[in-house]
Amino acid sequence: MENTQKTFRSNSLTSQEFIELEEKWCAHNYRPIPVVLTEGKGVWVWDVEGKKYLDMMSAYSAVSHGHCNPKLLSALTEQANRLSMCSRAYYTDVLPLFLQKLCFLTNMDCALPMNTGAEAVETTIKAVRRWGYFVKKIPENKAEIIVMARNFHGRTTGIISFSSDTDYKHGFGPFLPGFKEIPFGDTKALEAAITPHTCAVLTEPVQGEAGVIVPPKGWLTEVSNICKKHNVLLIVDEVQSGFGRTGKMFACQHENVQPDGMILGKALGGGFFPVSALVGKDHLMRVFTPGSHGSTFGGNPLGAAVALRALELTEEEKLPERSAELGDYLMFQLKAIQSPCIQDVRGQGLWIGLDIKKEYASARLVCEKLKENGVLSKETHETVVRLAPPLVISREELDWGIGQIRKTIENL
Ligand SMILES: *Cc1c(COP(=O)(O)O)cnc(C)c1O
């Protein structure tokens, strides 16, 4: 049957009308904050009625470089005008430069480019299992990966198989075997969980989706030592924490830990393009052979050009240093808010979770009120409001946001 619905491309509709259209035509796998965005620049975004908001969510760190960053936009358009897509059936003059830069930055030997974070995690599961069989000589199909309770690594069927969140799993079984869950931050549990069949430990350095949970100091170092002792690979998922979010280029650098593999995504695409990668040491990465893994779009020239420029900008504009300095400032200012509604303020760099006491308000309600006051955030679970602005934010812009947050909390 012919679709008789009119399609709209301009701002001829109101926010409410766009929301109704999206609710009708888009699967309900998200529950968005009711705001309809049409433009972004730096740390600011505008809705279709022209109201301006400070983005304190940055698309879960994908927009760390700021919205429509002009330098990244020119890298994108330049490459788009030259060669945008060609599969890995051929070499290009941009992919190796991007991956070389990525390996220098992470102190790794080799990278496998993919598109989304979840794909890079899936890539990792394949890599560490193969390493387990080929190098560690684990008997076939016995490899185990140790993961953390309340982890978040993406939404594919493989990944949700080891999620501890029942919402992520409900109705999607049967699940992939071969994972063992231990509490986050507990080294004793880790020692106890390792068997001769353990090939890897997979962890976030800071648990983002769980509510910006920072592990005890020294924990990751201890994990790294335990892994070495038992010939187990350490894989750190830095998809959200990477590229300055926590105040270091990578969160594992807070502990000077060098993992065997690192999973990257989100900010790697500069807010323009999905670019992800598994980067690792040779002993892990050489398990890949032609045909053992692939992706039509992974490593495409357009994504590679933007990602290369995004890496350069992260260094040139000192985004990790900015994040450390402004993150400390934000933390100090939030802790200074005297309100009985606040249970806890925690985080690292410009990545802060504001835990709201249930009896006062849900995190969702706080996010909706923040939106009314011109600040965009998004709740995670029932109680946590996450604050993670683009790392290019200025002190003045941050001050404005802090003022609005204070006002919102004080009026709950
Ligand atoms: C977002 C995220 C992923 C998944 O990335 P997608 O691009 O959404 O597939 C994986 N790991 C962590 C830690 C993340 O925050």
- Structure confidence by residue, pLDDT tens digits, 18-55: 999 999 999 999 999 999 999 999 999 999 999 999 99
The percent of residues above 70 in pLDDT, for the chain, comes to 97
Give me the pLDDT at residue 1, please.
41
State how far the Cα of 223 lies from the Cα of 225, in Å rounded to an integer. Answer: 5
**Distance from the alpha carbon of residue 116 to the mean position of ligand 1, in angstroms:** 7
Section 46-70 average pLDDT: 97
Closest ligand 1 atom to 117 CA: 5
Number of Cβ within a 10 Å radius of residue 16: 11
The percent of residues above 90 in pLDDT, for the chain, comes to 97
**Distance from the alpha carbon of residue 12 to the mean position of ligand 1, in angstroms:** 34
Look at residue 11 and tell me whether its pLDDT is greater than 90: no
Closest ligand 1 atom to 241 CA: 13
Residue pointed to by tokens 């490593």: 299
152, 212, 263, best to mutate for ligand 1 pocket (most atoms within 8 Å of CB):
152
Q: Is 237 a catalytic residue?
A: yes
State how far the Cα of 96 lies from the Cα of 94, in Å rounded to an integer. Answer: 6
For CA atoms 106, 109, 115, 120, give the dihedral sign: negative
Q: State the average pLDDT for the chain.
A: 96
From the list 237, 272, 288, 297, the catalytic residue is: 237
Tell me which DSSP letter residue 297 carries.
Answer: S
State how far the Cα of 268 lies from the Cα of 326, in Å rounded to an integer. Answer: 21
Give me the pLDDT at residue 12, please.
84
Position 6 confidence tier, pLDDT thresholds 50, 70, 90: very low
**Distance from the alpha carbon of residue 122 to the mean position of ligand 1, in angstroms:** 11
Closest ligand 1 atom to 209 CA: 15
- Structure confidence by residue, pLDDT tens digits, 376-397: 999 999 999 999 999 999 999 9
From the list 101, 248, 266, 378, the catalytic residue is: 266
From the list 152, 250, 273, 297, the catalytic residue is: 152
- Structure confidence by residue, pLDDT tens digits, 132-190: 999 999 999 999 999 999 999 999 999 999 999 999 999 999 999 999 999 999 999 99
Tell me which DSSP letter residue 29 carries.
Answer: S
Give me the pLDDT at residue 10, please.
56
Look at residue 4 and tell me whether its pLDDT is greater than 50: no
pTM tops 0.95:
yes
Q: Which helix (H) or strand (E) holds 58?
A: helix 58-61
- Structure confidence by residue, pLDDT tens digits, 205-253: 999 999 999 999 999 999 999 999 999 999 999 999 999 999 999 999 9
Backbone angles phi, psi at 194, to 5 degrees: -70, 135
Look at residue 7 and tell me whether its pLDDT is greater than 60: no
State how far the Cα of 291 lies from the Cα of 305, in Å rounded to an integer. Answer: 25
Section 4-17 average pLDDT: 68
- Structure confidence by residue, pLDDT tens digits, 241-294: 999 999 999 999 999 999 999 999 999 999 999 999 999 999 999 999 999 999
For CA atoms 46, 50, 53, 57, give the dihedral sign: negative
Instruction: Specify the 3-state DSSP secondary structure of 168.
Output: helix
90-316 folds as Aspartate Aminotransferase; domain 2 (3.40.640)
Closest ligand 1 atom to 156 CA: 9
